[in-house]
Amino acid sequence: MAKESKGEKTQKDPRYSAEDIYVLEGLEPVRKRPGMYIGSTGPDGLHHLVWEIFDNSRDEAMGGFATQIEVALLPGNVVRVVDDGRGIPVDMHPKTKVSALETAMTTLHAGGKFGGESYKISGGLHGVGASVVNALSTWLKAEIHRDGGKYVQEYKQGKPKEKVKKVAPSKKRGTIITFTPDPEIFKEIEFDLQKIKDHHRQQAFLVKGMRVRIIDAREYKGKIDEDVYYLDELHLPVPSHSFYFEGGILSLVRHLNKGEEVLHEAVFYVDKHVEGVFVEASLQYLTDITAREISFANNIHTPEGGMHLTGFRSALTRVLNDYARKNNILREADDNLSGDDVREGLTAVISVKIPNPQFEGQTKAKLGSPEGRTATEAVVGEALTYFLEEHPQDARRIIEKCVLSQKARKAAKAARETVLRKGILEGMTLPGKLADCSSRNPEESELYVVEGDSAGGSAKQGRDRRFQAILPLKGKILNIEKARLDRMLTSTEIKALIIALGTAIADEFDIKRLRYHRIIIMTDADVDGAHIRTLLLTLLYRYFAPLIDAGNIYIAQPPLYRIQMGKTAKYAYSDKEKEIILSEFASAKQEQRSAKAKKAGKQEEEEESAEEGGEEEGVEKGEGKIRGVSIQRYKGLGEMNPDQLWTTTMDPERRMLKRVMVDDAQEADKIFSVLMGSDVLPRKRFIQAHAKNVKNLDV
C-alpha cells in the first residue's frame, strides 16, 4: 500500500519516478494471475488479447469517431490494430502526472476505459483493457496520431521503456497498437485466422457502418514499412478479409437467412435509445419451424439470453396477438398465440447497450440488468406494431404461420392425449414387423428404421441380430403432409415405431425405458427418402425431443457407388470419394502394368488386360478410360444385397452414421462461430420443413 502512494522512492529501480511505481504496481496482479483477467492462458486467452485491443477501437467507431479498423497478423507473433479515431490522448493526466496514454496502458481499470465512454463494456471478462494486454506482452508499441503529431511509447511486459515522445509531425488522427504476446505467459502462441475472422465479422455486424479488415501477413517475411498507416495501402501479396455491414444486425439477419426460404421479403429493423439504453433489433421469418434468436449486450454475445431477450419475446408475442385480433385473423373465441407459436421459423437478432451491464449465469452469458427488458420491450413493441401496419401482406403471412404453428401444437397435444386416452399404445405388444435383436441391453442395442419392405428384408438378413433390430416402414404411409403430423401418430406404422422405442409418449414419456440407444434412420438417397427422413425427424422433434437432445438419433449413410476392379470392390459415399477411388485404381493399374512388363514380358500383360477388359465396361477417368473398372450407382437400398448392406451401412466397424443434433444455445461461442462462419449455416440447421436441408446434418 505504502509503495503505491505518491512521492515515495522505490529501491527496486531508481530509473522510475514515484508515479511510475504506482503504475508498475498496477499491473503486477495481471502477470501473477493472468487467468483472472483474460480467462485462460490457452488459445482463448491468447485471442482475448486481440479482442481487447480491438474493442477499444471498436468503441471509438461506435462513438462515431472511427470508421476503419485494421487487424493485422505479422510475422513473429506480432499483432497490429489500427484505427482512424481521435487517438488516445497523450497529454498529462491530472492524477498520475503522466500522459493519459501511459496511464491507460499501464494501470488497471483506468476509469471507464479511457474515461468518459458512455458505454463501458465491462461485463465478465470483457473490457479489462489495453493495460492487461500490455502486461502480458513482451513488447507493445502505441502510436498515436493527433494534435498535429505522431506520438510513440513502447513497453516491455507492461513497463514503459521511455516517456511518450513526439517523433514526427502528422496530419492524421488515430491509434496504432502493435504487440507480441509473452511466451512466458502463453504456452502456445498460434493465432487462428478463422477464429479471428469470425469474431470480427460478428463485431462488424454489431456496429453499423464500421469497416474491419483482417490481414494475415504472418508468412510475409519482407520488411513492412513502419510508417505506413493501414497496411492495406501496401497491397501486400497476403490474404485479407474485409467486413462491413451497412445494415448492422439487419444485415446479420439477412446473412443468417441467406439461401433459405423466407416467409416474407421485408426485414424488420429498429434502433432507438430509451432512458440510457440503446436497443437494436431485427427479424425475419423463414418457412421452417426452428427458432433462431441471437442476442448481444454491449457487443458481447449472450447465448443464455437474459433480460433483453425476455423483453423482445414479450413484445413479439403481444404485438402479434394484438395485430391478429385487430385484423380478425384471431377471433374472440380463439386462444392467444403463445410464445412458442410466434417463434417458429423466426430469425431474430437483438443487441442492447447498457451502462454497467450485469451478467449472470454459469458462463456470464446472460444479461441480468432489468432495464434491458423494459427498454427492449418498449422499443420493439412500438416499432413492430408500426412495421406490421406498414407491411400488411407480410404481417398476414407471419400471423397465419403463427396460427398454423398454434394449430399444429394443439393437434399434436390432442393426438398425444387421444393416444393415451384410447390406450393405443397399451399392452405394448411389439409390432409384428419388428425384427427385434436378442440383446435386452439398450446401451448396445440399435434400431434400424428402414424405408420400404424390400430394403427391410435385406437389412433383416444382413444384420447382426444380436444387437441390431429392424423396423421396416412403408414409404407410402408416411407420405403425408407434415401439417397432418397428428395423424401420423395414429398410423399403424408410426405406432409400431413408438411401441418399438419403448418410451411411450407425452406425459408418459420416459427416456429410461428407451429400448435402443441408437435409433438409425435408413432411407434411400433420393427425394422420397429425404422426404420420409424429414417426416420422421419432424415427428421425433415434436414428440421425442429428449431423444435428439440425448444424441440417440442417427442417420445411416449408404454408399452412392460401388466401384470394382478385378476382384477388388470399393464403396464411395460421395462423388468426391468416387473420384479418389478411381484415381487410386488408375494408379494401381499403372503400377501393375509396369511391374508386369518388367517381370514377365509383354505376352502376359496383354492376356491380363484382355481378360479384365473383356465384359466389363471401361470407365471414363480424366482423359482416358480405365479398362476393367466398373461403377455401379445405387439408386436405392433395395439394390444392395444383404451382405453389401451389412458391409457398407450396418457394420459398426465400417459404416458411417450422422448424429442428429439440435442447436444448443448453451454451446455459446462454438455455435457462434459456427453460426457466423462462412460454410456453416446449413450445418446446424437441424429440423427443417425441407428435405434439402436435412442432408446437411452435422455429425
Positions annotated as catalytic residues are: 451, 524, 526, 528
Report the Cα 608 to chain-centroid distance in Å.
54
Residue (of 166, 168, 169, 173) closest to 145 by Cα position = 173
Binding string, residues 119-158; x marks residues near ligand 0RA by CB under 6 A:
----------------------------------------
Among 30, 34, 41, 60, binds ligand 0RA (CB under 6 A): 60
Among 50, 74, 88, 342, binds ligand 0RA (CB under 6 A): 88
**CB contact at 8 A, 217 and 72:** yes
Cell representation of residue 478: 408416411
**Nearest distance from residue 69's CB to ligand 0RA, in Å?**
9
Report phi then psi at 141, rounded to 5.
Answer: -125, 130
Cell representation of residue 183: 511466451
**Nearest distance from residue 60's CB to ligand 0RA, in Å?**
4
Query: Which residues, 473 to 532, sit near ligand 0RA by CB under 6 A?
Result: none
Among 3, 31, 86, 364, binds ligand 0RA (CB under 6 A): 86
Report phi then psi at 436, rounded to 5.
Answer: -75, 165
Report phi then psi at 624, rounded to 5.
Answer: -120, 180
371 binds ligand 0RA per the rule CB under 6 A: no
**Nearest distance from residue 203's CB to ligand 0RA, in Å?**
14
Helical (H) or strand (E) element with 473:
strand 468-473
Q: Give the binding-site size for ligand 0RA (rule: CB under 6 A).
A: 11
Query: Which residues, 526 to 585, sit near ligand 0RA by CB under 6 A?
Result: none
CA torsion sign for 244, 67, 218, 34 is negative
Residue (of 176, 199, 145) closest to 81 by Cα position = 176
Within 10 angstroms of residue 56's Cβ, the number of other Cβ atoms is 25
Q: How far apart are CA 537 and CA 542, in angstroms?
A: 8
Name the one residue in this structure whose C-alpha cell is 463494456: 121
Using the rule CB under 6 A, give the single segment among 43-51, 55-63, 467-475, 610-618 that binds ligand 0RA: 55-63
**Nearest distance from residue 143's CB to ligand 0RA, in Å?**
11
DSSP per position, 61-88: HHTTS--EEEEEEETTTEEEEEE-SS--
**Nearest distance from residue 64's CB to ligand 0RA, in Å?**
12
State which residue, 88 or 315, has the beta carbon closest to ligand 0RA.
88
Within 10 angstroms of residue 59's Cβ, the number of other Cβ atoms is 24
Name the one residue in this structure whose C-alpha cell is 493526466: 93
**CB contact at 8 A, 172 and 197:** no
State which residue, 56 or 673, has the beta carbon closest to ligand 0RA.
56
102 binds ligand 0RA per the rule CB under 6 A: no
State which residue, 115 or 652, has the beta carbon closest to ligand 0RA.
115
56 binds ligand 0RA per the rule CB under 6 A: yes
**CB contact at 8 A, 307 and 373:** yes
State which residue, 56 or 534, has the beta carbon closest to ligand 0RA.
56
Side chain identity, residue 477: I
Residue ranges of E strands in 603-674: 619-621, 624-626, 629-633, 657-659
Binding string, residues 171-190; x marks residues near ligand 0RA by CB under 6 A:
----x---------------
State which residue, 141 or 531, has the beta carbon closest to ligand 0RA.
141
Among 26, 34, 45, 89, binds ligand 0RA (CB under 6 A): 89
State which residue, 175 or 376, has the beta carbon closest to ligand 0RA.
175
Helical (H) or strand (E) element with 580:
helix 575-600
Side chain identity, residue 431: P
Residue ranges of E strands in 147-224: 149-156, 159-160, 165-169, 174-181, 211-216
**Nearest distance from residue 130's CB to ligand 0RA, in Å?**
7
Residue (of 621, 628, 633) closest to 580 by Cα position = 621
Query: Which residues, 434 to 473, sit near ligand 0RA by CB under 6 A?
Result: none
Q: How far apart are CA 107 and CA 125, in angstroms?
A: 17
Cell representation of residue 25: 504496481
State which residue, 85 or 381, has the beta carbon closest to ligand 0RA.
85
Residue (of 182, 214, 200, 189) closest to 82 by Cα position = 214
State which residue, 177 or 637, has the beta carbon closest to ligand 0RA.
177
Please report, to the nearest 10 degrees, the dihedral formed by the alpha carbons of residues 198, 202, 207, 211 taken in order. 20
**Nearest distance from residue 345's CB to ligand 0RA, in Å?**
41
State which residue, 82 or 136, has the beta carbon closest to ligand 0RA.
82
Q: How far apart are CA 452 and CA 650, in angstroms?
A: 16
**Nearest distance from residue 85's CB to ligand 0RA, in Å?**
4
State which residue, 59 or 288, has the beta carbon closest to ligand 0RA.
59
**Which residues are paired to 269 by β-bridges?**
282
**Nearest distance from residue 11's CB to ligand 0RA, in Å?**
34
**Nearest distance from residue 691's CB to ligand 0RA, in Å?**
49
Binding string, residues 341-360; x marks residues near ligand 0RA by CB under 6 A:
--------------------
Binding string, residues 64-83; x marks residues near ligand 0RA by CB under 6 A:
-------------------x
Please report, as ranges, the residues that interact with ligand 0RA according to CB under 6 A: 56-57, 60, 83, 85-89, 114, 175
